[in-house]
Structures are given as C-alpha cells and as structure tokens.
Amino acid sequence: MTTPDRAPILAAGCVLWRHARPGIEVCLVHRPKYDDWSHPKGKLKPGEDALAAAVREVQEETGHTCVPGPALPTARYVVGGRPKLVRYWAAEAGAGAFVPNSEVDRVLWLPPGEARSLLTQARDRELIDAWLALLPQPRPFP
C-alpha cells in the first residue's frame, strides 16, 4: 500500500508548437524558482484528468490555448524522494499572449533544434525527439 507521503506526484504538460516561417517553433518556459527551461507542465488538481491538466497548464504558463494531439512518452523521475510521473502530449498553440507570472517569467518560441539545445533536462530533450518522430516526413521528388 502506498502512503500519501510516498504516493507518486502526478503532473501533465505539452510540447507546445506552432507554425512559423520557415517551419515550426516550440514554446519553452523559464521558471525562475529553478532557473530552468522546460515545457509547460504542472501538477494535477484532485480528481483532474491528465489531459485536462496539460491543457490548463499550457494556458496558465504560456497564455495560449492549445489543441492537443498525440500522446508523448511519460517522464518518470524522483523529486524529494517521491516518484513523479508527468504525462505529455504534443499540442498546437492557439490564440493567446504570454504574461509573466510568479511561476514563469519568460517564454521563447524556437525552432526545434534550438529549443532542444536550450532545455535544461535531458528528459525534456527526449520529448522533442519523440514529437519530431511523429511529424510527417517530406517525400522526395520522383
């Protein structure tokens, strides 16, 4: 039996992207508390569905609505001696505008390669790779 102090921390987030010229861009958030760059994510509220939490966290942290797409790998790691599971989805950005807040003071929209280089955690870089693998590949001309 898992006690409340050993229960997994449940969280959700998105690899948020948008069309840009040329190509696509990924949104990264800067969290001043940790001085890191990551994907928008956060803890589930009691009784909240993981996908609903991911969409809510995108809105809260970036100011943008989003349209969720395919599921991405779940990140598993330990925080303060407790296991943490973060479910992720690819999500296309909708309307909105970023407003700095206590959790996130900056956002950047970058091409995938630049975003991958800036991410603080290797597990977040792996999400970029998983997302890119899902994108349709250009077909060579005959």
pLDDT of residue 135: 84
Domains in the chain: ranges and CATH: 9-134 (3.90.79.10)
What is the chain's mean pLDDT, rounded?
Answer: 93
Which of helix, strand or coil describes residue 7?
Answer: coil
Smallest CA-to-CA distance from 116 within 5, 13, 4, 17 is with 17
Residue type, 42: G
| CA distance linking residue 43 with residue 84, whole number of Å | 10
pLDDT of residue 136: 80
Give the pTM. Answer: 0.91
| R_g of the chain, CA atoms, integer Å | 16
**Model confidence pLDDT, tens digit, residues 30-48:** 999 999 999 999 999 999 9
Host H or E run for residue 64 = strand 64-79
Better-scored residue on pLDDT, 141 or 72 = 72
